[in-house]
Amino acid sequence: MITKTIEDIELPQSSMGNARSLKIIRYGNKANGKKAYIQAGLHADEPPGLLVMHHLMKKLDRLDKEGRIEGEIVLVPVANPVGISQWRDTVLFGRADFNTGVNFNRNHFDITDQVSDDIKDRLGKNTVKNVTLIRKSMSGVLAAMSPEDESAFLKHRLLSLACDADIVLDLHCDLMASVHIYMGTPLWPDATDLSAEMGAEVTLLAKESGDNPFDEACSRIWWDLAKKHPDFSIPAACLAATVELRGAADVSHELASKDARGIMQFLTRRSLIEGQAAEIPALLHDATPLRGVEHVKAPAPGVVVFLEKPGATVESGTLIAEIVNPVEPLPEKRNIQVKSTIGGILFSINIDRYARPGRILAKIAGKKPIEGKGKNLLTL
């Protein structure tokens, strides 16, 4: 029996007579096992994940016909109908809301306090029952909220769809980059198989990265609740990750099909798909702290010439880029060298080649936390 269903949720109108909708595709049934939730395009100008969704759906359609979906798999292939309609001239601006300037993957709802109040007298010794109680409470707290603004409504709806899942994958991409993954520190090393299957060069861990991105809205509540209720057993019950599928121009059927295969292997190993998962591929590099990422910044304006590519292992003092300003009067300032200050893996560089002072040119994952980074570890 085919279990696939397609639902359209209408978003509140932000302009007269123009309502956008969110498409949700479901396979299987949660009553039969675990739940996985996968979305793409929350940053609407990041296309690789959208193509991966196409390949995932082809694979899941086939498995569904064969009756091999165990548990429930929920896909939101185009997670941001607001951002994907934000064209200016010939360019799509899908990262931040035109209306408020807020990044679509920041400031997701943090319902920890409400859930904590709701469950505090009902937690018990049984871990499984605590997980069920917390998931029900999260759904209840979210159901009692009714954001009016279109983007807030969208964020609320996405979290409502994902909050009770065992696995949440939020598919993104960087500018020019290797595959890298963000997740909560308590999820490692359990999630090693995800990074290995996706061929991630870098896995970045933080207990709290600041500004509450979507994956953290789903996962961090578990360890925050465990901290608030130390006498009860509360596991990190949601393995949520932001998966950065290389750079924005890395869009091909070959890559997307490979990424979809990696996700399917992961879901099979996690008992959402019937069958035997292949042996876990070798993990390319162990996870490192998000606080250990060096943002290599431009000290001056000019044209950027990169001398290293994403994926390179660099040392402290490696020449990453030169900034060339042909109208700078002082010859020694006409060509400025930009060097790394830590050793690690260069996993992302900027896509355009203009520098201005303070602009991030490259990101390097180092093994040790960097002092003085402050509370917010993510870029804008």
Interface residues for Zn ion in 191-230 (CB under 5 A)?
none
- Interface residue with Zn ion among 26, 108, 172, 270 (CB under 5 A) is 172
3-state secondary structure the chain: CCCCEEEEEECCCCECCECCEEEEEEEECHHHCCEEEEEECCCCCCCHHHHHHHHHHHHHHHHHHCCCECCEEEEECCCCCCHHHCEECCEECCCECCCCCCECCCCCCCCHHHHHHHHCCCCCCCHHHHHHHHHHHHHHHHHCCCCCCHHHHHHHHHHHHHCCCCEEEEEEEECEECCEEEECHHHCCCCHHHHHHHCCCEEEECCCCCCCCHHHHHHHHHHHHHHHCCCCCCCCCCEEEEEEEEECCCCCHHHHHHHHHHHHHHHHHCCCECCCCCCCCCCCCCCEEHHHEEEEECCCCEEEEECCCCCCEECCCCEEEEEECCCCCCHHHCEEEEECCCCEEEEEECCCCEECCCCEEEEEECCCCCCCCCCCCCCC
Q: Which part of the chain contacts Zn ion (CB under 5 A), choosing from 41-49, 183-191, 215-223, 271-279?
A: 41-49
Cβ nearer to Zn ion, comparing 95 with 157: 95
> In the bound complex, what is the minimum distance in angstroms from residue 347's beta carbon to Zn ion?
14
- Which among 46-54, 205-213, 320-328, 364-372 is the span making contact with Zn ion, rule CB under 5 A? 46-54
Size of interface with Zn ion, in residues (CB under 5 A): 3
CB of 171 to Zn ion, least distance (A): 9
Minimal distance in Å, beta carbon 105 to Zn ion?
Answer: 6
Min dist. Cβ of residue 174 to Zn ion (A): 7
CB of 76 to Zn ion, least distance (A): 15
Q: Which stretch binds Zn ion (CB under 5 A): 36-44, 126-134, 160-168, 210-218?
A: 36-44
Stretch that binds Zn ion, among 17-25, 26-34, 43-51, 254-262 (CB under 5 A): 43-51
Query: Which one of 35-43, 145-153, 218-226, 369-377 is the stretch in contact with Zn ion (CB under 5 A)?
Result: 35-43
For the bound state, the minimum distance from the C-beta of residue 5 to Zn ion, rounded and expressed in Å, comes to 28
43 binds Zn ion (CB under 5 A): yes
Q: Nearer Cβ to Zn ion, position 293 or 323? A: 293
Residue 198 CB, nearest approach to Zn ion (Å): 15
CB nearer to Zn ion: pick between 172 and 220: 172
Q: Could you list the residues that contact Zn ion (CB under 5 A)?
A: 43, 46, 172
